[in-house]
Amino acid sequence: MMIVARNTVSLLFVFLMFFLLSLDANALPGFARQTGMPCSSCHVQSFGPNLTSIGRNFKLNGYTQTDGKNNNLIPLSGMIRGSFTHTQNGQPDGAADRFGKNDNATIDEAAIFLAGRLTSKIGAFVEGTYDGVENIGVLDNTDIRFADHADVAGQKLVFGMTANNNPTVSDLWNTTPVWGFPWSSSPLAPTQSAGTLIESLGSQVVGATAYMMLNNLLYVEAGGYTSLPKNVQRGIGAFDAEQARLNGGAPYWRVALQKDWSGHYGAIGSFGMHGNVNPQRLTGAGTDSYDDFGFDLTYQYLANPVHIYEFTATYIRENRNMNASAALGLADKLKSNLDTVRLRAGYTYLQTYGLNLFYGQTTGTADTVIYSFGDPISGSRTGNPNSQAFTAEASYTPFGKSTASTLGTLANLRLAVQYVHNFKFNGSVHNYDGFNRNAVNNDTLYFNAWLAF
C-alpha cells in the first residue's frame, strides 16, 4: 500500500509540474481571464471559494462580467487536488475501499468546469468531478444563472434566477453549507454520523430560485427543490440506495443584510428549507418532516490587502418529525432536533499566506436507531449525535496576484496543511463506538495540493 501511496504522490508532482511549466496564453480560460482581474480581486488568499465583495458581486451578476476581450471563448477550466492523510489511529478495515489503514495518499478529485459568461445576461458554474476515493464520476455543484439590473424608483436593483442542484450552492457567502469552511478536507478520515437535511442533498436534487439585491444592501432569495429520478441520479453518479428522498417539493429561502464601508465588510442573514422525505426511499409509511433554520454572520477587514482579517459564524437548527421512520423501525423518537454551530477566524498575509482556526459542534436528541451501535468507528455506543472538533489550517498560494503573467490568469496553486482535533465524536469522548475507539483516535493531519487551471 505504501508503494501505491508513493506512486500517487509522484504522479501528482509530475502532473503539477507539467501544468505549471507548459500552460500558454491560449489555454483554458477561467474567471480571471474573462474579467481581466487577478484571482486576488475576487478571492481571499487568491484562491478557492472564499469570496471578497468583488467576488460576491461577480456571482450575483451571473458570472457575466468581462473585460471586453475574448468574449467568444468557451469558458472551460479544470482542477485537480491530491492529498496525504494521517489519523492518530488507523482504521482496521481500511480508510476506504482500495486504501490502507493509515497514511494514505490519493487524488481527492479532478474536475472540469463550464464556468463563466454564456451570454450577456446568462452565466454558469457547472462542475463535472472524478472522485478519486470512490472511483466514480459525478455531476457536482451546478449553478446556471440569469441576471439583470434596473433602477426602480431611484433604487438600484439586481435581480435574477438560478437553476442548481444543491441548496445553498447559489449563495454569495461562505457561511452556508456548500461553500463554508473547510474549503477542503480529508475524504479518508472518519466523519461524524449526524448531519442536517440541507447539507445532504447535493447532486441528488434539482431546483430553481429567484433572487434580488436592493441597493447593495438587502438580499432576498426564494425557490424550491425536488429529488431527481433514480435513473437520472445513477446517470450522474449521485445515487445512494439508503439516502432519504424528497417527497414532492422542498421550499428554500435566504435573506441577508450587508454593508461595505471603508474597507470593512459585514453581513448578517438567515436561510432555511422545509422537506418531507421518504426515509431510505421507502414509501407506504408516510413521510418524515424536516425544518432547517440557519443564521449566519460575516465580517471581513479588506482595507489593507497586506493584512486581511475575517470572522464567520453559522448556526443551523433542524427540527424533525420522524413519523415514517418510527413506523418503519428506522428511528426511536418521533420528534427530535439537531443543532450545528460553526465558527471561523481567518488571517491572510499578502494574499499569499493564510491561517484559519475553526470550531465545529453538533448536538441533538439521542436516538439509538438513527445513531446506532454496532459499527466500529462510524457507530455510536450511546446513540448520541454530539460531536465537537477544532481545526487549524495553514495555506500558501504563490500565484493569482497579477494578470501580467500566464500563471497569473491561467493556473493557480494552493498548498495547505490541516490538523483536526476531536474533543467528542458520535456522542462520547472515550470508547464512543463501543469498540474502544476514542474521539482523539480520529484526529487527522491532512496535507493537500490544489491546482486550478
CATH number of 418's domain: 2.40.160.10
Report pLDDT for 405: 55
Sign of CA dihedral 58, 60, 61, 62: positive
The alpha carbon of 203 is separated from its chain's Cα centroid by a whole number of angstroms, namely: 12
Residues 6+ apart with CB under 8 A from 363: 338, 339, 385, 386
Q: pTM for the full model?
A: 0.90
Report the distance separating Cα 140 and Cα 119, nearest Å: 23
Strand partners, 207: 164, 225
- DSSP state for residue 206 in the 8-state scheme: E
- DSSP state for residue 43 in the 8-state scheme: B
Report pLDDT for 408: 55
Cell of 184: 477542503
Cell of 400: 493569482
Report pLDDT for 17: 37
Residues 6+ apart with CB under 8 A from 124: 63, 75, 114, 115, 116, 118, 142, 143, 144, 145
Mean pLDDT for back-to-back runs of 10 residues, the chain (453 residues) = 40 37 36 84 90 95 86 82 98 96 97 93 96 95 97 95 98 97 97 96 96 98 97 93 92 98 96 97 94 98 95 98 96 97 98 97 97 94 97 94 64 94 98 98 97 90
Among the listed residues 378, 175, 200, the one whose alpha carbon sits nearest the alpha carbon of residue 267: 175
Q: Number of C-alpha atoms within 13 angstroms, CB side, residue 229?
A: 3
Report the distance separating Cα 369 and Cα 324, nearest Å: 13
Report the distance separating Cα 10 and Cα 414, nearest Å: 18
Q: Report the run of H or E that residue 261 belongs to, with start and end.
A: strand 250-261
Residues in the chain: 453
Report pLDDT for 76: 87
Which range of residues forms the domain containing residue 136?
2-452
Report the distance separating Cα 412 and Cα 20, nearest Å: 9
- DSSP state for residue 51 in the 8-state scheme: B
Report the distance separating Cα 277 and Cα 173, nearest Å: 27
Residues 6+ apart with CB under 8 A from 123: 62, 63, 64, 116, 117, 144, 145, 147
Report the distance separating Cα 110 and Cα 70, nearest Å: 26
Cell of 433: 463506538
H helices then E strands: how many in the chain? 7, 17
The type of residue at 49 is P
Report pLDDT for 70: 61
- Map residue 31 onto helix, strand or coil: helix
Asked if 351 and 160 touch (Cβ cutoff 8 Å), the reply is: no
Report the distance separating Cα 133 and Cα 117, nearest Å: 32
Measured from the Cβ of residue 404, the count of other Cβ atoms closer than 10 Å reads 9
Q: Report in angstroms the alpha-carbon separations of 257 from 70, 208, 216, 268.
A: 35, 22, 9, 6
Radius of gyration (C-alpha) of the chain in whole angstroms = 22
Among the listed residues 42, 24, 2, 49, the one whose alpha carbon sits nearest the alpha carbon of residue 450: 49
Q: Which alpha helices (DSSP H) does 194-333 contain, by range?
A: 230-235, 323-327
The number of distinct structural domains making up the chain is 1
Report pLDDT for 28: 31
Cell of 12: 501528482
Report the distance separating Cα 62 and Cα 59, nearest Å: 5
- Map residue 130 onto helix, strand or coil: strand
Report the distance separating Cα 334 and Cα 322, nearest Å: 5
- DSSP state for residue 425 in the 8-state scheme: B
Asked if 324 and 308 touch (Cβ cutoff 8 Å), the reply is: no
